[in-house]
Chains A and B, each alone.
Chain A
Amino acid sequence: QVQLQESGPGLVKPSETLSLTCTVSGGSISSYYWSWIRQPAGKGLEWIGRIYTSGSTNYNPSLKSRVTMSVDTSKNQFSLKLSSVTAADTAVYYCARERTLAAAGTTLDYWGQGTLVTVSS
């Protein structure tokens, strides 16, 4: 059973960089896209971006200038960096596996439990 676990600071100061890592266990990180999604308290889900195990990335255009994702296949981990954070970036951040379907798009079939990141001085 694939499991994902987010880790990283729960408190980040405004204007600094949010850094999170997702560790994948129970399966290989290879040959999948791996995504980050966030959810402000009481609000809906926002896709941040994804990374393939080759290092190829796609980012949400609204966040693209501030987002960097990376992958470390030797550790079965992938990471998110979001720079110049403000209070608006306060949210629960989820990592998830994206599975490609035959002629039917993709789906997020495994999710981490989520980690709350608060942006505050």
Chain B
Amino acid sequence: DIQMTQSPSSLSASVGDRVTITCRASQSISSYLNWYQQKPGKAPKLLIYAASSLQSGVPSRFSGSGSGTDFTLTISSLQPEDFATYYCQQSYSTGGTFGPGTKVDIK
């Protein structure tokens, strides 16, 4: 089984900050990595697929990078609506494992 880890598990940031979240896979997953945003009481929303492709309708302040085992999600300038929990997910193997999540809250 492919295990996914994320760091940090939580962070506090201010509006306008640059935020970076890291996701690591237990084995190489090429670029088979997705990022989701989840707000309280809502379903996850796809932000980034295939490690670096921006889902239609998602603001350009979100970006993804990485391949192999190490990936990052960057928010270039944090906006009030970006306070949420972010999950990575590998799709290299069937039943893509999710990371444990990173909660971004207001400093």
Give every chain A residue within 8 A of B33 (Cβ-Cβ).
105
B-binding segment of A7-15, A17-25, A40-48, A75-83: A40-48
CA distance A105 to B46 in the complex (A): 14
Tell me which of B29, B34, B94, B97 contacts A107 (CB under 8 A): B34
A-B contact count (CB 8 A): 70
CA distance A58 to B96 in the complex (A): 11
Q: Contact: B98 with A46, CB < 8 Å? A: yes
Report, as a range, how many residues of chain B touch the other chain: 20 to 34
| Interface bits A99-110 vs B (CB < 8 Å: 1, else 0) | 001001111110
**Knowing that A94-B43, A107-B34 are A-B contacts, what are 12 other residue pairs whose CB atoms are under 8 Å apart, sorted by A's residue number?**
A46-B98, A50-B94, A58-B94, A105-B32, A105-B33, A105-B96, A107-B49, A107-B50, A108-B46, A109-B49, A111-B45, A112-B43
CB-defined A-B contacts under 8 Å, sample of 11: A44-B98, A44-B99, A46-B98, A49-B95, A104-B49, A105-B50, A105-B91, A105-B92, A106-B91, A108-B36, A113-B43
